[in-house]
Amino acid sequence: MLNQGIGEKPVSVQKKPKAESIHQALLEAEKQAHQNKLKYDFQQLMGNWHLVFITGTKESKKKWSNVIGKGFYLPQFINVSINYYSDEKEVNQGKVVNQVNVGLVKFSVEGPIKYLEKKNILAFDFNYLKMYILGVQTYQTNIRGGENSTESFYRAKINQLAFFSYFLVTENLICARGRGGGLALWKKDNME
């Protein structure tokens, strides 16, 4: 079901499952991961992932339940990707670059990541912002303390950080629950 949701077949050949079906499949995969105590290696998360489906956080569901419902596929005119890079010197640490493309405008935020292997939790922080118009960088700035905040990020407890708790990781897709309670499904970006 989740493989159908990420569109493994060409769009002309495939009809995506309903949002309710993807939501239910995500919940079932999460339940199975917890029951089987599945563990994923940090390196399995490395690469470029394209966001396909989200359910929204608990808070957003309260406010927008009639719009969000059981979740939704991201519209094709919005491209959201997340890229994870490992640090060659430090185990289970690295960098994240999150990009949002809408038309001719692209926003990019980046910062440090750390992975808690026992719980499949990848914590992250964004401390740098870039904006592009027509592919040309037009703005850049440090945010939330910039590079100086990286050291405090690595010392911080997990409950003080934004994170994703991954419950399904394959070579083609990753699924996680965010700190806010929302579910997300990404596909490997090199997939057509």
DSSP reduced 3-state for 183: strand
**What is the model's pTM?**
0.88
Angle at the Cα of 57 (from 52 to 62), degrees rounded to 5? 125
The whole-number pLDDT of residue 192 equals 43
The whole-number pLDDT of residue 9 equals 53
Domain of residue 10: give its range: 2-188
Place of tokens 């090199």: 190
pLDDT tens column, 139-163: 999 998 888 889 899 999 999 999 9
Helix (H) or strand (E) holding 82: strand 78-86
**181-188: average pLDDT:** 96
State yes or no: pLDDT of 66 exceeds 70.
Answer: no
Residues near 136 by Cβ (< 8 Å), separated by ≥ 6? Answer: none
User: 82: domain CATH number?
Assistant: 2.40.128.280
State yes or no: pLDDT of 62 exceeds 80.
Answer: no
Phi, psi of 69 (to 5 degrees): 55, -135
Total domains present in the chain:
1
The whole-number pLDDT of residue 190 equals 75
Place of tokens 């994870």: 84
